[in-house]
Amino acid sequence: MTKTQVAIVGAGPAGLTLAQLLHVAGIDSVVLENRSRDYVEARIRAGVLEHDVAELYEQAGVGGRMRREGLVHTGVELQSGTERHRIAFDELVGKTIVVYGQTEVVKDLIEARLESGRPLHFEVSDVSLHELESERPRVRYVHDGAEQELECQFVAGCDGFHGVSRPSIAADVLRTFGRDYPYGWLGIIAAVAPSHDELVYAHTERGFALLSMRSPELSRLYLQCAPDEDLDLWPDERIWDELQSRLGVDGWTLHEGPILEKGVTPMRSFVTEPMQWGRLYLAGDAAHIVPPTGAKGLNLAVRDVAALAEALVAWYRDGHVGLLDAYSETCLRRVWRAEHFSWWMTTMLHRAPNSDEFTLRLQQSQLRYLRTSPAAARSLAENYVGVEHA
Ligand code: FAD
Ligand code: DHB
């Protein structure tokens, strides 16, 4: 049996960020991940870091490459039909965002973890959590063909939506809230310079589209599709035609290039309450899911573990339990704000398959309001860069 202070299940952004924050504070942890390092580093997902999340990475000593290679954006464009309107974050709320891929965040964190010399085990299997209501929880798993037991003081459940942590909470305590949407996103990475220097969120009668990027050489683009869309029906030419017709505006060209990667993401909203049970603390997608519109998923995960790290540091340094006891409530306030914002952005910008004209008029009205009212624009900007006091 091995011992540690904090057992961290999952090496996604939540688990790896927590490991780094604890390391900086001199707290021991073991990270257990069921996939390989290559798989985790190649998984293409989110791309937008909120202002304070980018700062947190810098303060935690892992922001070097992000600051050199990340793209600072001072606003985004909202497109309604063929009209675009810029939401200027810096002017409206004095903050900016950083476009830097989740793959890069994960690579930086893995490198920092390996440098720290503290344990990070890939390709473990059969992870199970035990005695979570005691002061000495245990995590059992199989690594290199051998059964292992890890004794710890706290377990951080950072193992995503399909992990083992959330189901380890007693069924009579756990409450979940959620919604599935009747659409998904077809996302591509293309080897072509982004056609615009900021993100473009487009609402059109053909459905939603988003222009984003990963670097000056790589475009990231999304199209609203069915949640179970068959990618075989989407040869590259059809994807570009559809992007051209949804994103096209006069006097602007969407540049096409080789598609390097294609995928479909279904969309859901989901919240678990509480986010803590005994010595188990859930963080990130293990506790909540947002639809991607508004780019909150990764940011929420990082903010959960920032709160958890602060609470653990207070406990280890001074024996304070207050922040640990308040963890779930503290996180859920911010989580529900982001849930509302993501749901609102999603329903404003997508066209449901059986959507009626009334809904379309409401969406158009809301988009017009954002164009004409600084108060409405400021609210969007504040939520997008990250609300300070939810
Ligand atoms: P995850 O990144 O899911 O990490 C959990 C880790 O735990 C994984 O490495 C997993 O392999 C591991 N794990 C799972 N089960 C076990 C187990 N039993 N034992 C050990 N390890 C385990 N957000 C956006 O803002 N914009 C986007 O465009 C966007 N696109 C997305 C596309 C997809 C396909 C998905 C699934 C999510 C997307 N998200 C997006 C959401 C965002 O990527 C997540 O919110 C973010 O990854 C959450 O980080 P996490 O560490 O909580 O969870
Ligand atoms: C990206 C993803 C999002 O969900 C979003 O709202 C903006 C950008 C991206 O992957 O670049």
State pLDDT tens for residues 276-329.
999 999 999 999 999 999 999 999 999 999 999 999 999 999 999 999 999 999
Beta carbon of 342 within 6 Å of any ligand 2 atom: no
The atom of ligand 1 lying closest to the CA of 32 is: 20
Residue nearest to atom 11 of ligand 2 (CA): 47
User: What was the pLDDT predicted at 259?
Assistant: 98
Environment class of 3 (CB within 10 Å of its CB; exposed 0-12, middle 13-18, buried 19+): middle
| Nearest CA-CA partner of 225 in 235, 214, 236, 239 | 239
The answer to whether residues 335 and 287 touch, using CB atoms and an 8 Å cutoff, is yes
Task: Single out the residue of 300, 285, 49 nearest to residue 178, CA to CA.
Answer: 285
Mean pLDDT of 189-200: 98
Cβ atoms of 294 and 345 within 8 Å: the answer is yes
How sure is the predictor about 389, in pLDDT bands with cuts at 50, 70 and 90?
confident
CA dihedral (268, 40, 174, 328) positive or negative = negative
> Residue 388's pLDDT band (boundaries 50, 70, 90)?
confident
Q: Is the entire prediction scored with pTM above 0.95? A: yes
Q: Is the pLDDT of residue 340 over 90?
A: yes
Strands 120-121 and 75-80: unpaired
CB 49 within 8 A of CB 77: no
CA 387 to chain CA centroid, Å, is 15
Mean pLDDT score, 205-234: 97
Residue 286: CB atoms within 10 A of its CB come to: 30
CB atoms closer than 10 angstroms to residue 285? 26
Q: Name the residue with tokens 């070097």.
A: 64
In terms of Cβ atoms closer than 10 Å to its own Cβ (0-12, 13-18, 19+), residue 377 is: buried
Closest protein CA for atom 1 of ligand 2: 47
Minimum CA distance residue for ligand 2 atom 9: 47
Using most ligand atoms within 8 A of CB, pick from 210, 211, 218, 346 the residue to mutate for ligand 2: 210
The vertex-57 CA angle with 95 and 159, nearest 5°, equals 115
| 370, two tokens | 């954002």
Question: Which of the 8 DSSP states describes residue 107?
Answer: H
Residues marked as catalytic = 73, 201, 292, 296, 384
Q: Which of 49, 200, 212 to mutate to test the pocket of ligand 2 (most atoms within 8 A of CB)?
A: 212
Q: Using the atom order of ligand 1, give the atom closest to the CA of residue 10.
A: 7
How many Cβ atoms from other residues are within 10 Å of residue 319's Cβ?
Answer: 7
160 lines ligand 1 (CB under 6 A): yes
Which atom from ligand 2 is nearest to the alpha carbon of 214?
11
Ligand 1 center–CA 12 separation, angstroms? 6
- Average model confidence (pLDDT) for the chain? 97
Ligand that lies nearest to the alpha carbon of residue 263, given by its number in the listed order? 1
Compute the distance between CA of residue 160 and CA of residue 14 in angstroms, rounded to an integer: 9
Percent of the chain with pLDDT over 70: 100
Give the 3-state secondary structure percentages of the chain, helix then strand then coil, rounded to 5: 40, 30, 35
The H or E element containing residue 318 is helix 297-318
Q: Is the dihedral of CA 101, 104, 110, 112 positive or negative?
A: negative
**What's the gap in Å between 263 CA and the centre of ligand 1?**
15
More confident residue, 336 or 81: 336
Q: Using most ligand atoms within 8 A of CB, pick from 159, 164, 385 the residue to mutate for ligand 1.
A: 159
The residue written with tokens 């245990």 in the block is 138
pLDDT at 125 over 80: yes
- Any idea which ligand is nearest the CA of 34? 1
Residue range 87-122, pLDDT digits in tens? 999 999 999 999 999 999 999 999 999 999 999 999
Please indicate whether residue 51, judged by its CB atom, sits closer than 6 Å to ligand 2.
Answer: no
Distance 350 CA to ligand 2 centre (A): 15
